[in-house]
Chains A and B, each alone.
Chain A
Amino acid sequence: MEERRTSKRCGGVLPFIIGFLATCVLGWAVIPGLFFEEVEQPVRFSHAIHVDDQGMECDSCHYFREDGTYAGFPTNEGCADCHAVDPAEAMEAIAEAGIDPTDYDAIMKAEIGAIEDNLASESEENKQAEREYVVKYLIQGKEVPWLNYQYQPDNVFFSHQAHAGLDIAELAAMKNELSSVVDASVFEEPAEQNCNLCHLKDIDKTDTPPAFERNVLSGYSKMTMKMWKCERCHALKGQPNACYTCHK
């Protein structure tokens, strides 16, 4: 009998509401964050230094090749135009100093002349980032495994060339329809180039690249555009949504 009374007192709809609210809060505020882990880029690349200080253009590194393909990330070949450390010379100097060429820390500490004399950065912090790039990648002949915020799997064929003519100012007319696809703030002050439509907004002004948010289940980036977004924009723009338009 006592039990029944108690149950009346505490029963009813309250526990249901508590449970409902708790998971709602968790599900909206906490759990989505748990799906992603933050991964730093392999090298602290500063767009700010390259663009603002050195006056480089976007297409110095991110350009269309003659065959219409897009060179997304720069390769060592391009970087070496300015970061003029001769890999052969550096490796020789490392061997002379008796350091294991794969022991990056030791190389960086040893202040090898063939490397140090050719570093372009001024502040020690920037110098260290550059040194890391040179020691770990450039002189080793290894390309930097940049993390692609806009990662797409192998079954997707994305053509930068086909999207090169998209104009943000023009698209602004559809900004309501596109609100779930594109960050609305992109349309506020339309940039000359349309990269902001899909890429990290204003990444060219960052000094430290933001962390890559990797989905712990799928391994994709948090910013990986899902198929429905591609399809929505295609539909709005009157472009085909046939499977083979984007798949391979």
Chain B
Amino acid sequence: MQTKEFKIKWGMVIDIDKCTGCGACMVGCQVENNIAPMTKKDPYNYVQALTTDRDDAANKLRTLTWLTVYELSNGKTFPEHEVAYLPRPCMQCGNPACVPVCPVIATDKNEEGGIVSQIYPRCIGCRYCMAACPYHARYFNWWDPLWPEGMDKGLCPNASPRPRGVVEKCSFCHSRYLKAKDKVRAEGGDPMNLPDGAYTTACADICPTKAITFGDLNNPEHKVHDLAKSKNAFRLLEKLGLAPQVYYMSEREWVRKQGDNYNGNGGHGAPATNHG
């Protein structure tokens, strides 16, 4: 399969050595993208006695966490134990596994910038893409979004609310890209050559340690360009050949190794035995 290349390639470099797993990025992401808090009771459901409760955040299989933080462990016992935290957005793969399986072209990678689009009104909720994505970056709306009373007054203008029955995922806060281009147009600049920082994601913005760096991987003037090439940089499951546009970096070797557990024994295809 061919990796789709564009002149602009939006990407992230996440420094795992700076991530404390505080969760601010996840909260910021939900606010930016109008992901409703998970609530059990539906006050508008007048036949509650006949129906089951909705899921709350306790059911991790049904939460919508476009960006989610994983805990990594080096697997050793006290006192050799080490721990690290890994935030996982959508990888915006160069060769996405989700796109070819979509029967209705609700998801595609066709825009300059290389962000994998997800068009909610088009999605029929078949979830093939979720099965295809090896990063578990896609989420199905099991429930209609329901903000506790009064909380839907303050919704972010950047993301359209999705009904139940559709798949959604991280879009690198795509509306911010459109707005950044408009701003540059208004200033007489070139929307195809945004300066570093003109377009960033909500998670990168809010991160207190700035562990997430966002920019154009193809633009040498953007920080991510060099960071992605640094010696400690790696990508998740690189061997699958999906060419993610999200890079990670860590000085810790065990973290880098876990980034591609198929490389566990020398990188020659034999899967590591301690899988899972």
Contact = CB atoms under 8 A, between A and B. Distances in A.
A and B touch in the complex (CB under 8 A): yes
A240 B185 contact: no
Interface string B120-137: 110000000000000000
Contact of A69 (B112, B160, B171, B182): B182
Interface stretch (B49-57, B173-181, B241-249): B173-181
A68 B184 CA distance: 7
A164 B186 CA distance: 10
A154 B121 CA distance: 11
Interface in B88-116: 108, 110-113, 115
Interface string A200-240: 00000000000000000000000000000000000000001
A68 B112 contact: no
A159 B178 contact: yes
Given A155-B119, A155-B121, A244 B174 contact: yes
Interface residues of A, number: 20
A186 to B, nearest CB: 24
Contact of B182 (A68, A155, A247): A68
B144 to A, nearest CB: 15
B117 A247 contact: yes
B21 interface: no
A161 B182 contact: yes
A169 B175 CA distance: 31
Interface in A115-169: 153-155, 157, 159, 161-162, 164
Interface in A44-96: 64, 66-69
Nearest to A159: B182
A155 B111 contact: no
A164 B111 CA distance: 21
A161 B187 CA distance: 11
A245 interface: yes
Nearest to A246: B178
A162 B175 contact: no
Query: A154, A157, A244, A245: which has the most chain B beta carbons within 10 Å?
Result: A244
A102 to B, nearest CB: 20
B112 A64 contact: no
A67 B160 contact: no
Nearest to A66: B186
A64 B181 contact: no
A154 to B, nearest CB: 4
Contact of A67 (B120, B161, B174, B182): B182
B164 interface: no
A119 B4 CA distance: 61
A243 interface: yes
B158 interface: yes
Interface string B124-158: 00000000000000000000000000000000001
Given A244-B115, A248-B158, A67 B179 contact: yes
B183 interface: yes
Interface residues of B, number: 27
B115 to A, nearest CB: 6
Main SS at interface, chain A? loop
B186 A67 contact: yes
A162 B113 CA distance: 17
A69 B185 CA distance: 10
Contact of B178 (A153, A154, A248): A248
A157 B121 contact: no
A242 interface: yes
Nearest to A247: B119
B178 A157 contact: yes
B185 A243 contact: no
Nearest to B106: A243
Contact of A155 (B110, B120, B184): B120
A66 B113 CA distance: 24
Contacts of A161: 182, 185-186
Nearest to A154: B160
Given A247-B119, A248-B160, A242 B108 contact: yes
Contacts of B159: 248
Contacts of A242: 108, 110-112, 117
Interface string B212-238: 000000000000000000000000000
Given A154-B160, A154-B161, A248-B158, A243 B182 contact: no
A8 to B, nearest CB: 52
Contact of B174 (A66, A153, A248): A248
Top 6 closest A-B pairs, CB basis?
A: A68-B182, A242-B111, A68-B186, A154-B160, A155-B160, A243-B117
Given A67-B183, A247-B119, A248-B175, 17 more contacts: A64-B186, A67-B179, A68-B184, A68-B187, A69-B182, A153-B160, A157-B178, A159-B178, A161-B182, A162-B185, A164-B185, A240-B110, A240-B111, A240-B112, A243-B111, A244-B174, A248-B160
